[in-house]
Amino acid sequence: MPRRPSTPVQTWTDPRHQLGFDGEQAAIGYLNAAGYVVLAHRFRVGRNDLDLVIRRGALVAFVEVKTRTGAGYGPGREAIGWRKRQALGRVAEVWRLRYGAPGDTYRFDVVEVVPTRGGGSRVNHIEDAWRLER
């Protein structure tokens, strides 16, 4: 299946897409400062993707980044329902089968990002945010 060419971020016209991308960049900066290495950004399988795959030692976390401009829609973690978790689990399994290493441990994290005045962001990293039911 041919890969669809990516559109440069600078040409995006939907402000929600730009907000999400900016939130992912803030999350990457925060996670790098916390000692994590980003292994993948927007790892895609079919119609679903993992925002980030990060590593620190033998720990690999699959990270969903939720960026909110305010509290009007509630915290970002509440937007990740059962169906979304299942989809993320399927993509994470593909990543694990392709790139995982013996001895790695895995978890699902959420990073909530709220832009602040002056161009900064408030970041909340929720480790081990959920577990898949088997």
Asked if the structure places residue 47 within a domain, the reply is yes
Asked if the structure places residue 4 within a domain, the reply is no
Asked if the structure places residue 98 within a domain, the reply is yes
**How many domains is the chain built from?**
1
Asked if the structure places residue 117 within a domain, the reply is yes
Asked if the structure places residue 89 within a domain, the reply is yes
Which tokens sit at 53? 């795959």
Asked if the structure places residue 8 within a domain, the reply is no
- Residue by residue, DSSP assigns the chain as -PPPPPPPGGG---HHHHHHHHHHHHHHHHHHHTT-EEEEEEEEETTEEEEEEEEETTEEEEEEEEE-SSSTT--GGGG--HHHHHHHHHHHHHHHHHH--TT-EEEEEEEEEEE-TTS-EEEEEEEEEE----
CATH number of 59's domain = 3.40.1350.10
Asked if the structure places residue 5 within a domain, the reply is no
- Tell me the average confidence (pLDDT) per consecutive run of 10 residues in the chain, 134 residues long: 58 76 92 97 94 97 91 78 94 96 96 88 93 76
Predicted pLDDT of residue 36: 98
Which structural domain range is residue 41 located in?
14-130
Measured at the alpha carbon of residue 64, what is the angle toward residues 58 and 8, in degrees to the nearest 5?
110
Give the pTM: 0.87
Asked if the structure places residue 1 within a domain, the reply is no
3-state SS assignment for residue 89: helix
